[in-house]
Structure 1
Amino acid sequence: MKATPLIWTGRVLSALFVLFMLGASIAPKFLMPEVATEASADAGVSASHVLLIGVLELIGTLLYIWRRTALTGAIVMTAILGGAIASHMNAGSPLYSHTLFGVWLGLVMWGGLWLRDTGIRAVLPLRTL
């Protein structure tokens, strides 16, 4: 199958999502636990849960990378992002920069998957009026 510009755009969006998750969210939870614990405390997340969240994010991200499990990974990551949104809502975080960041990240993740996977596009087609 020839990779079209649509598929390449999806791959780039997916790569940006994966790089962000690995670099800005997962790595700090494993490599700098005190920094991650402090940042998570502002959103009301217990210090004892930070490592577990990092493990779940890593599993979801790894599932998202492989084509056969990408849909499962996207579903897992959607659940995690939903939890982050709820945590920021409960903490009273700023709306656009913190609370809705999970929405923006989810749009990049699902957009990348939709663009790079013809099966997803077949199940979730864009409709014109």
Structure 2
Amino acid sequence: MKSSKTVITGWALSGLLAAFLCFASASGKFTDWEGKAEMFGHLGWEEGVMFTIGIVEVVIAMLFLIPRTAFVGAILLSAYLGGAVATHVRVGDPFFVPIIFGVIAWIALGLRDPRVFQIAFRSPSEPTPATSNQAPPLTTD
């Protein structure tokens, strides 16, 4: 059973991560500012593409916050952050921040929903949480 402090911590981390993605990161892709073209050009992206990437970033952050879609949101967020890592590695920039955000996302989701940790840290011989709670198959005797 999960404690309320654990769940609150998970939601707080999730909210902070989503706020960063939507307001600090994506907002820079939606607004014009001095040096924007040069910075994105250095990364190999045009400004128009960055607008689309900003939309993707906001959608993924919202999926991550909705309990029913949070697991898919975390997977998509991992893929998005993997692209950020690849982009920064390609141009020789530091690339550890997206990795840290990805780890934080999965920890936050695991604190919100302990099944995430059960899947990640179960032994190979244990049934998955999804199958262990299922009723036995019906028989037609």
Sort the TM-score into its range (normalised by shorter chain): 0.7 to 0.9
CA distance in 1, matches of 2:119, 2:89: 32
Tell which deviates more after alignment, 112-121 or 69-78: 112-121
TM-score, structure 1 normalization: 0.83
Match of 1:113 in 2: 109
Matches within 5 A, 1:80-99: 80-94=80-94, 99=95
CA distance in 1, matches of 2:2, 2:104: 23
Task: Tell me how far 1:63 sits from its aligned partner.
Answer: 0.5
Match of 1:123 in 2: 119
Q: Which amino acid aligns with 1:103?
A: I
* Residue 5, structure 1, aligned to residue 5, structure 2: yes
> Mind listing any 5+ residue stretches in structure 2 that lack a counterpart?
124-141
Contact 2:2–2:114 at 8 Å: present in 1 too?
Answer: no
CA distance in 2, matches of 1:10, 1:126: 20
Structure 1 residues 33 and 117: alpha-carbon distance in aligned structure 2, compared to 1, 3 A threshold: farther
Structure 1 residues 51 and 68: alpha-carbon distance in aligned structure 2, compared to 1, 3 A threshold: same
TM-score, structure 2 normalization: 0.76
CA distance in 2, matches of 1:122, 1:2: 12
Contact 2:10–2:112 at 8 Å: present in 1 too?
Answer: yes
* Residue 56, structure 1, aligned to residue 72, structure 2: no
Q: Deviations over 1:20-68 (max 9, x none)?
A: 1111111221233766544322222222310111111111111001000
Tell which deviates more after alignment, 105-114 or 36-45: 36-45
Q: Which 4+ runs in 1 deviate beyond 6 A? A: none
CA distance in 1, matches of 2:11, 2:76: 19
Rg larger for: 2
CA distance in 1, matches of 2:66, 2:34: 31
> Mind listing any 5+ residue stretches in structure 1 that lack a counterpart?
none
CA distance in 1, matches of 2:19, 2:69: 18
- Structure having the higher helix fraction is 1
